[in-house]
Amino acid sequence: MKKYDIIIVGAGPSGMMAAIRAGQLKKEVLLIEKNNKLGQKLLISGKGRCNITNIQEPDKFIYNFSSTGLFLRSAFAKLFNTELIKFFEAKGLQVKIERGGRVFPSDDRANSVLKVLKLYLQENKVKIIYNNPVVDIKVGKNSEFSVELKNREIVKSKSLILATGGLSYPLTGSTGEGFGFAKNLGHKIVDLSAGLVPLEVKERWAKELQGLSLKNIRIKFICGKKTITSEIGEMLFTHFGVSGPLILELSSNVVDWLKAAKDPIKLIIDLKPGLDEKQLDRRLIRDFGNQGSKIYKNVLAEILPGKLIDVFVEISGISQNKKANQITQEERRKIVRLLKDFSLTITKPRPIEEAIVTRGGVLTKEIDPRTMQSRLLKGLYFCGEIIDVDAVSGGYNLQAAFSTGFLAGESAGKED
């Protein structure tokens, strides 16, 4: 029965960072990974490009998190974006900054990020067990942790770090067993739900638009007369509804409203946010006047993506065979209104397994934010997505994983 200074369960970004930091402090560290390789979810993050962090300053950075974001202040004070970039650059990984302050590896390959983490793990002599999930965790009378593996092997340690992730993308190993371990060790789990998740819609015609990406549009989610959230960006139609960067970024607020709202949640798409209704009307008057002999739906090709036109015309209720010079003033105004108010009805989020992050997790009040140690059980630490902290897309969630992992590894490594 082997005994280690620190056992870390889960080899995602936070678990690997915790192991690296503890190893730097010369502790004997065991990193347990249920898969046959490290960083499975990291490899698919950012569509395989891995959005490492964001260059925003701390206050603005934390603003992008849910209500528990302030919990991360101490972790960010230990390791923030500048330090994280230097951490990777020290091993030869070059980075680049893109729209919105997003930081990516220069070669756009998540595997390049993983290679650096592996180098640090090897350099700091971290022992790794693969393909052997944890099945049980017990605490002995001397506060020693006893961890049973699937092959019935038992390993022990003075400190234990749970870095098991959430419930999203279960094929990467995020199947949520860590929440059960935390609960068995006395912790409360805030209800789990999908964060950064695609949304399903009621309208059947949305399926006809599958694969259509709309750029530089404004979307607004409303419930009754109340605007839930609104932003400009890019979205995507899918076979079930809507997805894409803008939908994912705003979905968390929508999911909360779906749980409680009595009225339907509407998605309003402004297809031409740069023009007001009067400007759009003048544009249509000009286009229809210049091309009066054309069928009006063909004239719409100048302001709408081709794949959207048939659905748009059908929703407008205007005969598709009408020529542009036959469109009445009222019909033209109807087109203008539809361009500014193209709406769908949201029915539900996609399953949590399809979410980018998991909302909910171990209650932050039961974790000391200065150390990531449990307030209930000495020697137990948490890091990463298992904690009830989540953010919008843009590199924020990965930075939180790395920062909490670093702090947990350092705190456990300095424990007497």
CATH at 20: 3.50.50.60
Mean of the pLDDT values across residues 140-152? 93
* DSSP labels, 150-195: TTS-EEEEEEEEE----SSSGGGT--SHHHHHHHHTT--EEEEEEE
Q: Please, which pLDDT band fits residue 376 given cuts at 50, 70 and 90? A: very high
Q: 165: left (phi > 0), else alpha (psi -120 to 50), else beta?
A: left
Looking at 314, 349, 384, which one is the last position of a domain?
349
pLDDT at site 189:
98
Find the mean pLDDT for residues 274-281.
96
Mean pLDDT throughout 344-373?
A: 95
Mean of the pLDDT values across residues 171-188? 89
What's the DSSP call for residue 351?
A: P
Q: Are residues 151 and 15 in the same domain?
A: yes
Global confidence as pTM:
0.88
Inform me whether the pLDDT recorded for 268 exceeds 90: yes
Q: Are 132 and 82 in contact (CB under 8 A)?
A: no
- Over residues 277-295, mean pLDDT: 94
Q: Could you report how far apart the first and last alpha carbons of the chain are, in Å?
A: 22
* Average pLDDT of span 74-97: 98
CA dist., res. 39 & res. 200, Å (int): 30
pLDDT of 173 > 80? The answer is no
* 203 and 185 in a common domain: no
Tell me the sheet residues that pair with 373.
381
- For residue 4, the one-letter residue type is Y
Residues 50 and 186 both lie in one domain: yes
Do 219 and 315 fall within a single domain?
A: yes
Residues 248 and 339 in one domain: yes
Number of domains in the chain: 2
Identity of the amino acid at 52: I
152 and 234 in one domain?
no
Residue with tokens 């993983």: 114
Q: Is 21 left (phi over 0), alpha (psi -120 to 50) or beta?
A: alpha
**Final residue belonging to a domain, choices 327, 349, 371:** 349
Q: Which of 332, 349, 366 is the last residue of a domain?
A: 349
- Enumerate the β-bridge partners of residue 220: 230, 268
Q: Residue 26, SS3?
A: coil
Contacts of 252 (CB under 8 A, 6+ apart): 66, 195, 196, 359, 390, 392
Q: What three-state secondary structure class fits 52? A: coil
Both 285 and 318 in one domain: the answer is yes
Residues 213 and 180 in one domain: no
CA dist., res. 166 & res. 359, Å (int): 8
Distances (CA, A) of 61 to 40, 196, 267: 26, 17, 27
Whether residues 139 and 39 fall in one domain: yes
Looking at the structure, tell me whether residues 209 and 279 fall in a common domain. Answer: yes
- Answer yes or no: do 177 and 219 share one domain: no
Pair (126, 226) in one structural domain: no
Q: CA–CA separation, 284 vs 300, rounded Å?
A: 9
| pLDDT confidence tier of residue 171, bands split at 50, 70 and 90 | low
Mean pLDDT of the chain: 95
- Contact yes or no for 317/309 (Cβ under 8 A): no
Residue with more model confidence, 253 or 239: 239
Q: Which domain holds residue 217?
A: 198-349
Provide the pLDDT for residue 353.
86
Greater confidence, 169 or 221?
221
The yes-or-no verdict on residue 75 having pLDDT over 70 is: yes
- For helices 81-89 and 110-123, angle between their N-to-C axes, nearest 10 degrees: 80
| Distance, CA of 37 to CA of 112 (rounded, Å) | 15
Q: Is the pLDDT of residue 325 over 80?
A: yes
